[in-house]
Amino acid sequence: MRPSGRAPDQMRDIEMIPGFSAHAEGSCLVKFGQTHVLVTASVEERVPPFLRGQGKGWVTAEYGMLPRATHTRGSREAAKGKQSGRTQEIQRLIGRSLRAVTNLTALGERQITLDCDVIQADGGTRTASISGAWVALRLALDTIHKTAPFATDPLAQQVAAISCGVWQGTPVLDLDYIEDSGADTDANFVLTGDGGMVELQATAEGAPYDEETLLRMLRLARIGCAEVFNAQLVATGRA
């Protein structure tokens, strides 16, 4: 039995609230159970120096946790003067995941920054961030299209992410904090709407895992992402 009482293939409750921020071109408050992340998409009519004059745009991400997002207060990274290695790794993952499904040439010479701020953490903050970032990006592109129509939609398809793991010998879907902190194996899957894989992070925290266990977690991830994909379509008015 999982600590939450969920079945091995059961997700936490998902909620995606689009347009949560009044000022951002696109935004989404995403909730996976007790993990809550606010994602905003900000559009700038310029690109980083390494892309100037190339006729293509850029999608990037920043990630952070509010001081009391966890059980005990964490120091603000801005106060420390530098980001942790974990923060840098997660925001690069988010950026890679969204660029994988974005046609940067169709975007034109503009940059979209996805700010993912964890309000409350209970496991799976990076996967919730990626899933919510797609909604915020989709809405930002819709905003641009109203005044400067795209010849080709820059967002080729959906992308979502979910965690899986091995809890007390059983592969399970969508780990919360208790499971994540005590899992024998912890994995994050980033999948596309057409069945492709963008990234897989799988680590043996206890005993090593075998190929069959990895495949079982992948099958669970596909079940979970199918639910996330549907929630994304509902949030963006495309269901």
How many whole angstroms separate alpha carbon 92 and alpha carbon 85? 11
Q: How sure is the predictor about 82, in pLDDT bands with cuts at 50, 70 and 90?
A: confident
Q: What is the pLDDT of residues 86-140, one digit of tens each?
A: 899 999 999 999 999 999 999 999 999 999 999 999 999 999 999 999 999 999 9
Mean of the pLDDT values across residues 208-223? 97
Residue 1: its pLDDT value, please? 82
- Mean of per-residue pLDDT scores for the chain: 96
Residue 145: its pLDDT value, please? 97
How many whole angstroms separate alpha carbon 205 and alpha carbon 186? 7
65: which strand partners? 118
Residues contacting residue 161 through CB under 8 Å, at least 6 positions apart: 97, 126, 127, 128, 130, 131, 188, 189, 190, 191, 225, 228
User: What's the pTM value of the predicted model, to 2 decimals?
Assistant: 0.96
Q: What is the pLDDT of residues 52-76, one digit of tens each?
A: 999 999 999 999 999 999 989 988 8
* Backbone angles phi and psi of 12, in degrees to 5: -70, 165
Q: How sure is the predictor about 80, in pLDDT bands with cuts at 50, 70 and 90?
A: confident
* Backbone angles phi and psi of 216, in degrees to 5: -65, -40
Q: What is the pLDDT of residues 140-191, one digit of tens each?
A: 999 999 999 999 999 999 999 999 999 999 999 999 999 999 999 999 999 9
